[in-house]
Amino acid sequence: MPEKVVESFNVKHLSILDEKGVADESLMPSLSESDIKRMYELMVLSRVFDERALSLQREGRIGTYASILGQEASQIGSALSLQKSDRVFPSFREMGVYITMGYPMHMLYQYWSGDERGMKCPADLNIFPLCIPVGTQIPHAVGAGMAVKYRKEKVAVTAYFGDGGTSTGDFHEGLNIAGVFRLPVVFICQNNQRAISVPRETQSASKTLAQKAYSYGFHGIQVDGNDIFAVYKAVSDALIRARQGDGPTLIECFTYRISDHTTADDASRYRGKQEVEEWKPKDPIFRLRLFMSAKGIWTESYEKEIEEKSKEVVDKAVSVSESISPQLPKDMFLYTYEKLTQRQINEMGEL
């Protein structure tokens, strides 16, 4: 009996906008001038938010913070194709996703300053709180996908995670279940090349992370994660397939974390300056600016205007977050259970 091939697959890499700001028109998603401006403005706003968070941390006004610097295209590009009714399960590094979806910015600062009221998602949004244990949010997205499918709703679910997250059991268990039941879940991996200090190659011996989808029986694709058009297109297509009942997709956004892992980390211990310098010209905002400039929709006065606007929005968010009345010690008891237990009532009396 001759051997025969029983399964094979190809893993594609999608990029549309190159480092010089030139787009491949044949692949370009349909976006109006104002859509493109919105992409740009949200990336700038997220970056200003991020820079401010870093400085607030240094001033001791918020706690440890995980920066998104360099990952704006992956976050904004993916979140822009989401609808408010879609259900989002972020990791701890998705500030750009929250901002794009319209999560009140002051609540993000509130959370990072150590007040969990910042994670009470507004009723008109379906974005889950930050998830600190790596990868554990992935099965939650899968379960939400099961709920969507059961109710025959026309919504999609996304789970965000990093390259480190793909090594966890929950990643594999989650993708496996999503594949078996063909759930409307889009798995968005931001491969920012490291999990704290551990490089991507140490997470997995497979050549791409996208290819892992094929072991679970669905489509995976790698995209240039610093190219907002590519991210937007891949995620939009996947979301449409999900909403139509065509099952899950894994999207690997190939990107780079420019800053330290968190404000408690010093990346110079494990990566050279050279490496970071090589990634800087790939900056997603810079790249889109070149594109817009060539199209005549970017000018210095426009740039100035959106920078100022972003700063105003961020200033306001900081001041709102800092003017919120402090939590009362008894607040820590309130949401452990639906109702306070007798023991909790006694304990509250001790405060």
Ligand X SMILES: Cc1ncc(C[n+]2csc(CCOP(=O)(O)OP(=O)(O)O)c2C)c(N)n1
* Residue 345 binding ligand X, by CB under 6 A: no
The residues in 167-186 that bind other proteins, with binding defined as CB under 8 A, are 169-170, 173-174, 176-177, 180
Cα–Cα nearest to 40, from 17, 67, 66:
17
For this structure, is 13 an active site residue?
no
Min dist. Cβ of residue 246 to other proteins (A): 18
Could you tell which of other proteins, ligand X, none binds residue 9, using a CB distance below 5 to 8 A set by kind? none
Residues numbered 110 to 139 that lie near ligand X (CB under 6 A) are: 132-134
Distance CA 16, CA 22 (A): 8
Q: Which does 212 bind (CB under 5 to 8 A by kind): other proteins, ligand X, none?
A: none
What is the contact mask toward ligand X in residues 49 to 88, using x (rule: CB under 6 A)? ----------------------------------------
Please identify which residue in 22, 28, 147, 196 interacts with ligand X, judged by CB under 6 A. 196
Q: Among ligand X, other proteins, none, what binds residue 180 when CB lies within 5 to 8 Å by partner kind? A: other proteins
State the nearest-atom distance from the C-beta of 132 to ligand X, in Å: 5
Query: Which of these is catalytic: 13, 58, 117, 270?
Result: 270
Q: Would you say 47 or 261 has its CB closer to ligand X?
A: 261
What is the smallest separation between the CB atom of 189 and ligand X, expressed in angstroms?
9
| Dihedral, 225, 229, 235, 240 alpha carbons, nearest 10 | -170
- How many residues belong to the site for other proteins (CB under 8 A)? 39
261 catalytically annotated: yes
Residue 138 tokens read as 């992935």
CA distance 231 to 241: 15
Angle between helices 33-58 and 284-295 in degrees, nearest 10? 150
Look-up of token digits 């993916």: 78
- Footprint of ligand X on residues 255-314 (CB under 6 A)? 257, 261
Site for ligand X contains 93 (CB under 6 A): yes
Alpha-carbon distance of 288 to 300, in angstroms, equals 14
Site for other proteins in 60-119 (CB under 8 A): 87, 89, 116-117, 119
User: Cα(157)–Cα(86) distance, rounded to whole angstroms?
Assistant: 6
State the DSSP H helix or E strand holding residue 253, giving kind and residue range, or none if neither: strand 249-254
Q: Are 348 and 330 in contact (CB under 8 A)?
A: yes
Q: Is 270 a catalytic residue?
A: yes
Give kind and range of the element (H or E) at residue 109.
helix 105-112
Helix (H, G, I), strand (E, B) or coil at 142: helix
Contact stretch for ligand X (CB under 6 A) within 162-170, 216-224, 232-240, 335-343:
162-170
> Is residue 31 a contact partner of residue 293, using CB atoms and an 8 Å limit?
no
CB 184, CB 247: distance < 8 Å? yes
Residues making contact with ligand X (CB under 6 A): 93, 132-134, 161-165, 192, 194-196, 257, 261
